[in-house]
Amino acid sequence: MQQKITRDGFASKFGVLVAAAGSAVGLGNLWRFPYMVGENGGSAFLLIYLFFMIVLCLPVLIAEFVIGRRAQRDVIDAFNVLAPRSAWKGIGIAGLCAALVILGFYCVVGGWTLAYIGKSIFSLPTTLPGDYYAGTFTSLITSPVQPLVWCALFIALNAFVVSSGVKNGIERYSKILMPILFVMIVVLAIRAITLDSDMKGLRFLFQPDFSKVTGATFLAALGQAFFSLSIGMGAMITYGSYIPKDSHLVKTSIGVMSTDMLFSLLAGLAVIPAVFAFGISPAQGPGLVFVIFPEIFSKMPMGYVLEILFFTLLAIAALTSSISLFEVLVAWLVDAKKLSRRVAMACVTVVVGVLSILASLSLGMLPNISLFGKNLFNFFDSFSSNILLPLGGLFICLFVGWRMKPADVRDELTNSGNIRLPLFGCFRFILRYITPIAIAVIFASGMGWLQI
C-alpha cells in the first residue's frame, strides 16, 4: 500500500486565483510585452497575441491544471502517476530545465527592478540630458558587481516566500501583493493616457497594420502569450496540484487568462502612450521601461512618487511570478527527492545563482559567453519563450488529448460530476487537433521551416 502523502496546498478558491494570476502577471506583462509590441509594429501584434491567448493558451492552461490536480504531484511525478513507465515524463524533465533557463535571466531582471527602486528613491529632481538614462541603464547592466548584488537580493526574497510554503508563503503574499499591483497599474495607465493628447500612442496600440506581420511575428506573439501565461513548462501543473478539489478548473483558468490579458493591456496603456507623448521610439528592446520611464517621470508632475511606484510595481510583479518558477523545482525536490522545503530551496538557489551570474556577466564583462550567436541572457530569453514553452505546450495538449483517459479528464473538469460541462467534446477536440496543429504550424513558420 502506498503511504498517503500530506501535501501543502492552497486554502481558498480566491487564493488559487490570485496565486495563479500572480504567476502569470509579471515581467512578461510589464517589461517584455510593451517592448515586444513596440518592436513588432504595435496593434497587429497585440491582436494576434490576444487571439492566441484565447484560442491556444486557454486550452493549454486548463490541460495543465487537469494534469496537476489529477496527479497531485510535482511536474515529473505527475506524468509518472498518470502514465507510468512512459516517455511522457520527458515533458516534466523539459519543464524543470525550462524553469532553470527562465530563472537564469528572470532573476537578473528582477534584480534590475530592485536597483531602480533604489535609484528612484535617490534620484535628482532635475531633468537630465536624454542620453543620461540610457547611459545609467547600460552602466548598471554591464557592471560586474552591482547587478549581481541586486539579483542576490531578489533571489533572497524568493527564498523567503517559497520556504514559507504554499499556503503561508505563496498564497498569503500573492493575496496581499496582487491587489496592490492592480491599483498601481491602473493609476499609471490613466496618467499615461492623459499625457497622450494627440492619441498617437493609442492609435499605435489599437489601429492594426498587418503589413509588417511575418511568420516570426506569429511565433513571437505565441511565445509572448505562453510566457505571459506561465504555461508550457509545468508551473501551472505544479500550482494545479495544490488546487482544492472543489475549485472549478475552467472558471479558474478563464479568470487567470483574463487577469493576465488585462494586465498586459494596462501595461501597454501605461507605457506606449507615454513613450509617444515624449517623442521616443517604442522599438527600444529590453531597456524600454528602464530607460524611458525614468526620463518620462523626470518630466512629469508627481514624477518622483510615480517612479518609485512604477519600479515597486515591477518588482512585486516579478516576485509573484518567479516564486512559481522556483516552486516547480522545489516541489520536485520535496515530492520526489524527499528534501525539506528549506534545503530544497537552498539547492535551487545555488544553481539559479550560478546561471544568473553567467547571464548577467554575458551582458558586460564576459560578452563571449554566448550560444547560437546570442549572449547568454538573450539566449535564455528567446530559447525559453520561442522554443521550450510552445513545444512543452504542444506535448501537454497531446498528453491530455490522446494519452489521458477521457473519463479522467471529464471527472477532473466536472469535479466528479458535481458541475456541468456542456462543451467537453469540443474542448477535447481542440486539445487533440486544433491546438497542437496550430502550435506546430506557427513554430515551423517562425523557425523559417515553413512558408505561409
Strands 374-375 and 370-371: antiparallel
Q: Is the dihedral of CA 383, 389, 392, 397 positive or negative?
A: negative
Contact 236, 328 (CB under 8 A): no
- Confirm or reject binding of residue 325 to ligand PFF (CB under 6 A): yes
Instruction: Give the residue nearest to ligand PFF (CB).
Output: 28
Radius of gyration of the chain (CA): 21
Q: What is the DSSP letter of 263?
A: H
- Confirm or reject binding of residue 162 to ligand PFF (CB under 6 A): no
Q: Report in angstroms how near the CB of residue 316 gets to ligand PFF at its nearest.
A: 12
Q: What would the grid cell of residue 391 be?
A: 513545444
Cβ distance to ligand PFF smaller for residue 123 or 360:
360
Q: DSSP for 93-112?
A: HHHHHHHHHHHHHHHHHHHH
Q: Report in angstroms how near the CB of residue 50 gets to ligand PFF at its nearest.
A: 15
Which of 19, 20, 24, 272 touches ligand PFF (CB under 6 A)?
24
Residues numbered 283 to 312 that lie near ligand PFF (CB under 6 A) are none
Q: Report in angstroms how near the CB of residue 363 gets to ligand PFF at its nearest.
A: 19
Which of 29, 253, 362, 386 touches ligand PFF (CB under 6 A)?
29
Q: Report in angstroms how near the CB of residue 233 gets to ligand PFF at its nearest.
A: 5
> Which 3 state secondary structure label does DSSP give 375?
strand
String marking each residue 96-135 x if it binds ligand PFF according to CB under 6 A: ------x---------------------------------
- Confirm or reject binding of residue 314 to ligand PFF (CB under 6 A): no
- Confirm or reject binding of residue 228 to ligand PFF (CB under 6 A): yes
Contact 364, 108 (CB under 8 A): no
Query: Which one of the spans 80-88, 176-184, 186-194, 222-230 is the region binding ligand PFF (CB under 6 A)?
Result: 222-230
> Which 3 state secondary structure label does DSSP give 384?
helix
**69 closest CA partner among 314, 245, 207, 214:** 245
Task: Please tell me the distance from the alpha carbon of residue 223 to that of residue 306, in angstroms, as a whole number.
Answer: 30
Which of 72, 174, 230, 356 touches ligand PFF (CB under 6 A)?
230
Report H helices in 299-340: 303-335
- Confirm or reject binding of residue 330 to ligand PFF (CB under 6 A): no
Q: Which residues of the chain form contacts with ligand PFF (CB under 6 A)?
A: 23-24, 26-29, 102, 227-228, 230, 233, 235, 321, 324-325
